[in-house]
Structure 1
């Protein structure tokens, strides 16, 4: 849609779950609704992992007390932490919303848009009589699997059993049991209970917004539309509405020196390696990755986030002289400006954990993927990348250096590599078309803006 500014004179309140992969799409959505439709934007956020207001001077930011201790926020159990946030933020959120709704000198509030993981917010919105729209920051295909959890448990697929890993999940082709989402938590039942609660509260909302596009996930979106009986709005890819890096959403500072290193590399020769903002690996896994990259003889840009190696600060386990001995083929940074990296002509493949943001960004730039999923929706995303869209290959869990070397060669050279590259370039074109006038995401955004304005009129 053009910048019609129908939303001018109306305010939206949005709230992210405080993790990088959730903050980024929510702030992108806020920016879309502000620039394309003219809504004024208020962001409610926890003190933990709070976004930087200086990156968005045109938004209003309201921190709320989350009651989290340093010990609690330092945990590697992101699921337990998200559950705590739902419990601790309910009352501070209600107080904050009540204050914002009573501000007569501000634009009237049309609705509250919140990350699906903050399931507690539906009850709060009901109490303050504010319409609630949900943002699903992951893909539709993985959400369809989450929505099927009760049936999967009933049929014995959940909890996942080692002996059944290769068994097909009959109602969810092409998934096998090993592709089903899991989350290793200190509280074994928490993942199942959490997912069911999120789905239940989503169904009570006024609609779900998706950072995906119809041509990528048409089947899953159609099934969810039938099951949820509420409007769904696939208006992604969010990041393609803007120039790369136009507003920073990163909690870590990207090292932009890697772009000048990429400038010295040959076209489509570099393997970009990044496992996101939460994944942690052992020292043994780290060393196998290092030697697999070195032995592949391909140039590589490797994001090694401080703390990603359990028990190490940063690169201490790396053998002395590793980068020097690789003949200058490697560049290691603590964090990278990923959108810029994936756009760079030197990038030939992306070795990723298959978080949804990374998967979508790779599709949009036509970069084939090597998939190493770890938890949550990543295994479903990886299965779709390798077996449905056929735009990448999967590495099995904790691969050795030999398998890593072989997989890199498979994706960078030969007939299969050309086929995969052709497939992802077709998807890239579809991602571009869906945002142009008359495209699927363009039309769904128009519908979303109309729905928000009707919610406001019915609530007033």
Structure 2
């Protein structure tokens, strides 16, 4: 940015991790800040890089990570540690160069970094730059993470020491089973907690959420950090335009298919960009979908099903039986799908981006969480906001019943009314005078004062 009101504003450098669910909201935040006049640079790993042609106004700073893939089969903590260690030198080189260039114009630099890329905060502080952490998860996840962290520090582990269905004391509405959980070994979780403790205390925190939606959790976060906390979500509604941020090619033909369907008649099924799914569970899903006799769009990423290239796991006869009422695609333009008049339900893993997108369009959910923050999100969707049902069992009979509860039963219609009310809440939050609109304005003021 050059000058506004005779004052030069900082260059904003955003550092994102290579996960789709993190890169997408980071780019949306960048678009929102750019619309307010800031110059933007995106620091990214060479693994899953964004496409610069989609963002011609941004500068892109590639980071040498020496990684060829996101390892979802080994140690997640080792992956994060390697990512931070390998990216740090090139990030420091980029910032040092930018400082030299900006000082010539008497212009400062502010670093906003994905919390998984904690090296960026360390480098920023070492170079006397303002460091702002960006969290793309729900606010409710953070207090739950602190509980899990405390348990690990006390050498107590959910899988060994607790009845998972019991409530966590002083943390209503969470059960022990809702706390952040990973299939990684206990030792890996301990290591991850130790790694994340290396992060510095930021000068402020940005959260992709809505104050009126998660006020209590945001209050706890502010008390924890003792710095300003800006809730500026949902960013996909805040950002003025949303060029593609997907790492996968979208099959837009599904929109034409939806155009031919009746209002609220289709359930959309997608478990995000990272999940690896068990063949047996997917087979049960297929049977439940077939028995429900409901229309559907089902996203099955190639290679996402164990021991299958794509749809080989489907039971014999499934395609023929559902051909007239179903569509299977490799990837879908999810925001457009959820906004379509024909979609009446969303069967989701409850990643936070997906949850926000569903809330923003007033779509009730079937929640099938797998790990990390997804259990917390599912609990709030089903128990607090009451705009979804959590799938507790993984048998086809229960899945069939759950689909019908959401799509055709009276309780599903009651849930849809509540979901529409939350859609209106989102609309008000992002409009002039709304809580997210005002929070973004305050964030702009904070960054410009750095």
TM-score higher than 0.5 here? yes
Q: Which residue of 1 aligns with 2:157?
A: 158
Quote how far apart the aligned CAs of 1:191 are.
Answer: 2.7
* Correspondences of 1:92-107 after superposition (within 5 Å): 92-104=90-102
Question: 2:425 aligned with 1:430, yes or no?
Answer: yes
Counterparts of 1:7 and 1:218, CA distance in 2: 34
Quote how far apart the aligned CAs of 1:443 are.
Answer: 1.2
Quote how far apart the aligned CAs of 1:23 are.
Answer: 0.3
* Correspondences of 1:184-223 after superposition (within 5 Å): 184-185=183-184, 188-195=186-193, 197-198=195-196, 201=199, 204-223=201-220
Counterparts of 1:385 and 1:48, CA distance in 2: 32
Quote how far apart the aligned CAs of 1:156 are.
Answer: 7.3
Question: 2:230 aligned with 1:240, yes or no?
Answer: no
Counterparts of 2:122 and 2:10, CA distance in 1: 23
Counterparts of 1:205 and 1:334, CA distance in 2: 39
Counterparts of 1:176 and 1:338, CA distance in 2: 30
**Cα pair 1:8 1:38 within 8 Å, conserved:** no
Query: Which whole-Å deviations, capped at 9, do the CAs of 1:293-335 have from their partners, x for residues lacking one?
Result: 1110000000000111012111122235522222511100000
User: What is the RMSD computed on CA atoms of the aligned residues?
Assistant: 2.1
Counterparts of 2:195 and 2:226, CA distance in 1: 17
**Cα pair 1:349 1:370 within 8 Å, conserved:** yes
Counterparts of 1:50 and 1:210, CA distance in 2: 23
Gaps of 5+ in 2: none
Change (3 A) 1:260 1:452: same
Change (3 A) 1:7 1:176: farther
Which TM-score applies when normalising by structure 2? 0.94
* Correspondences of 1:317-328 after superposition (within 5 Å): 317-328=313-324
Q: 1:387 aligns with which of 360, 383, 404?
A: 383
Quote how far apart the aligned CAs of 1:228 are.
Answer: 1.4
3-state DSSP of counterpart to 2:159: coil
**Cα pair 2:10 2:110 within 8 Å, conserved:** no
Counterparts of 1:162 and 1:7, CA distance in 2: 57
Query: Which whole-Å deviations, capped at 9, do the CAs of 1:136-185 have from their partners, x for residues lacking one?
Result: 01010001211233433467763433851111101211111111111122
Paired residues, number: 445
Change (3 A) 1:451 1:196: farther
Change (3 A) 1:296 1:226: same
Q: Which moved more, 1:210-219 or 1:105-114?
A: 105-114
Change (3 A) 1:7 1:167: farther
Q: Which moved more, 1:341-350 or 1:95-104?
A: 95-104
Counterparts of 2:363 and 2:234, CA distance in 1: 15
Q: Which moved more, 1:96-105 or 1:279-288?
A: 96-105
Counterparts of 2:441 and 2:175, CA distance in 1: 37
Quote how far apart the aligned CAs of 1:270 are.
Answer: 0.5
* Correspondences of 1:254-403 after superposition (within 5 Å): 254-396=250-392, 399-403=394-398
Change (3 A) 1:368 1:7: farther
Counterparts of 1:448 and 1:40, CA distance in 2: 15
Which TM-score applies when normalising by structure 1? 0.92
Counterparts of 1:229 and 1:257, CA distance in 2: 48
Counterparts of 1:268 and 1:112, CA distance in 2: 43
Question: 2:13 aligned with 1:18, yes or no?
Answer: no
3-state DSSP of counterpart to 1:41: strand
Change (3 A) 1:405 1:23: same
Counterparts of 2:156 and 2:270, CA distance in 1: 31
Change (3 A) 1:344 1:276: same
Counterparts of 2:428 and 2:403, CA distance in 1: 30
Change (3 A) 1:58 1:416: same
Change (3 A) 1:223 1:9: closer
